[in-house]
Amino acid sequence: MGVRKSFFTLGLALGLGCLLLQPQASFARKNKEFAPGDRQEAVSWVEEGLAWGHKNIKVSDQYVLWTSEDGKYNFGIALARVAWTKFSNEADGRYMMARVTWQDYAHDNSEYVQRPYYRGGESKDEKLKAALDFLAADARQQVKAQLDSQFEQFKGQAKAWREASAKPAMPEAAREHQVLAEYAFKEKDTDKAIKEYSAALEIFPTWPEGQFNLATLAGEKKFYETAIFHMKEYLELVPDSSDAGGQG
């Protein structure tokens, strides 16, 4: 996969990202009765809401994890990537669902995270929804702070890379992920390509094309925070790129 400058520019990333990373109005509950007062209460509402039909419920800063009642299946959701929470169509049975913006390959169910409806459990459903919204907003703020700190550290790496008379070669481990990413892109498997580009950049972050391509793909999947982050790293490596001015 080559650098696809016509698909994604920093201006587009920042414009869409600033719009979509604002607090989501849909997360605000009209019914103030179901608004956790603090994190501790939100965690207790999640544990209470998932307890029916599930067990081993664990809530961390970034994840809610649990298993099926029989212990055969593991489930989880990355809180920072919750796009929305809602109830399913009543005619099809009432489910509390949380949809993520981008699959987390270690923890997210690839479809919906849901808990079946049971009669008399409406208030627990409402509280579970409000608690997930509360914890998701908190998780996104933590991720933003972490990315800001990570970018500040990356600036030093980028400066050393720009000033190096001979650029370091890509390590073989990173190159293996590059090959897998480019193959996945050709096969139109965007999720796999994102995973492989991310793995390559974990090993070799001063790879401009990889930074740009990951930003592009994340933008296409509408995961704008990741797109913005990697576009910023790309432009830190190549500040004179035409993409800095939004040109194709």
Give 102's pLDDT tier (boundaries 50, 70, 90).
low
Domain boundaries, the chain: 10-19+140-245, 24-137
Give residue 200's identity as a one-letter amino acid code: A
CA distances from 140 to 27, 56, 83, 109 (A): 13, 24, 11, 19
Nearest to 80 by CA among 139, 124, 7: 139
Q: What is the predicted pLDDT for the residue at 66?
A: 87
pLDDT tens string 129-144: 899 999 999 998 998 8
If one counts every other C-beta atom within 10 angstroms of the C-beta of residue 233, the result is 26
How many CB atoms within 10 Å of residue 96? 23
- Average confidence score pLDDT of the chain: 79
State the pLDDT at residue 4.
Answer: 47
Six-digit token string for 59? 């809530």
Residue 157's pLDDT band (cuts 50, 70, 90): very high
pLDDT over 50 (residue 50): yes
Contacts of 2 (CB under 8 A, 6+ apart): 209
- Assigned CATH topology for domain 10-19+140-245: 1.25.40
Averaged pLDDT for residues 19-46: 67
Over residues 110-115, mean pLDDT: 53
Write the DSSP assignment of 69-136 as a string of letters.
Answer: TTSS-EEEEEGGGEEEEEE--GGG--EEEEEESS--TTT--SS-EEEE--TT-HHHHHHHHHHHHHHH
Q: Locate tokens 């296409």: which residue?
A: 220
pLDDT number for residue 114: 56
| pLDDT at residue 73 is higher than 90 | no
Query: Given this structure, which CATH class describes domain 24-137?
Result: mainly beta
